[in-house]
Structures are given as C-alpha cells and as structure tokens.
C-alpha cells in the first residue's frame, strides 16, 4: 500500500482551486467530472510533482456529518491538515500580502515553528518548519 492522496473537504471546489493554486502555489494535476457539478480535483506541490496529491473534496455539501466536523474544527481553531515549508516567517509574510488571514502567527514550539491560516473553504491549515 502507498500513501498517495490527502483529502481536504471544501465547500466550493472552484473557489478552493483558485485559493490553493493562486495563493498557496499548488499545481492542478487531475480534474475529472463526477456528475452533478462535482469533480475529482487533485493538486500537487510544484517541487514534488510526483508526490502525494491533495484532493479538494466537496464532501461537506453532500454528507452532513462532514460539514458538522469541519465546522467544529474551524470553531475550535484546529488545523484540518498541515503542509511543510522551508521558512514559516517568509511564507507568512508572502501570504499576508496576498490577503490570507492567520489565526496563529508564526510561533515556535520545541523543534518546530508553525502558523495557522484560513483557507476560505471551511478549514484552518497549518504550515510548519522544522527548526
């Protein structure tokens, strides 16, 4: 078995595609229609294009418990998932300039530095740098 996919629940796939590609810098890899306006939509990191894919999944629109779970995480400030970056401070500055809202500014904890932002699609996302 191989780990090749990470799923992120999003309320609006088109809006998520724009945010994750235009602001975060991911590249679109797969985009196939699934009926009813839904798509199998995956992204990859530009520097690791054969690495794991990020699935932008419209689950909250079709499965109420997923929406409830997503809302609860958002309310509590919990990140849905996290991405590695080389420099949290630099990425924080870059994203703030693009209008991205952070709930946790760059913070050190032991051997890691992290920050948390709102992906505008229902999730908090954490970026992490290993110190």
**Adjacency order of strands within the sheet including 102-109:** 79-84, 124-130, 112-118, 102-109
Choose which of 32, 86, 99, 111 interacts with another protein (CB under 8 A).
111
Which of 8-16, 32-40, 92-100, 102-110 is the region at the interface with another protein (rule: CB under 8 A)?
102-110
Q: What is the smallest separation between the CB atom of 109 and another protein, expressed in angstroms?
A: 5
Query: Taking CB under 8 A as the rule, does residue 81 contact another protein?
Result: no
CA distance 131 to 108: 9
If residue 65 lies in a helix (H) or strand (E), which one and from where to where? Answer: helix 64-76
Q: What is the smallest separation between the CB atom of 84 and another protein, expressed in angstroms?
A: 12
Query: Taking CB under 8 A as the rule, does residue 124 contact another protein?
Result: yes
If residue 3 lies in a helix (H) or strand (E), which one and from where to where? Answer: none
Query: Taking CB under 8 A as the rule, does residue 131 contact another protein?
Result: yes
- What is the DSSP secondary-structure string of 91-121? HHHHHHHTTPPEEEEEEEETTEEEEEEE-SS
Residues binding another protein (CB under 8 A): 49-50, 76-79, 103-104, 107, 109-111, 116, 124, 130-131
């Amino acid at each position: 078995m191989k780990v090749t996919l990470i799923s992120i629940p999003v309320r609006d796939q088109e809006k998520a595609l724009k945010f994750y590609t235009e602001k975060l810098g991911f590249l679109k890899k797969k985009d196939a229609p699934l009926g009813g306006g839904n798509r199998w939509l995956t992204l990859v990191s530009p520097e690791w294009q054969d690495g794991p894919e990020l699935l932008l999944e419209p689950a909250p629109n079709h499965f109420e418990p997923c929406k409830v779970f997503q809302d609860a995480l958002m309310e509590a400030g919990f990140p849905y998932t996290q991405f590695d970056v080389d420099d949290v401070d630099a990425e924080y500055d870059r994203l703030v300039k693009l209008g991205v809202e952070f709930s946790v500014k760059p913070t050190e904890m032991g051997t890691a530095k992290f920050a948390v932002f709102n992906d505008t699609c229902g999730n908090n996302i954490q970026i992490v740098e290993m110190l």
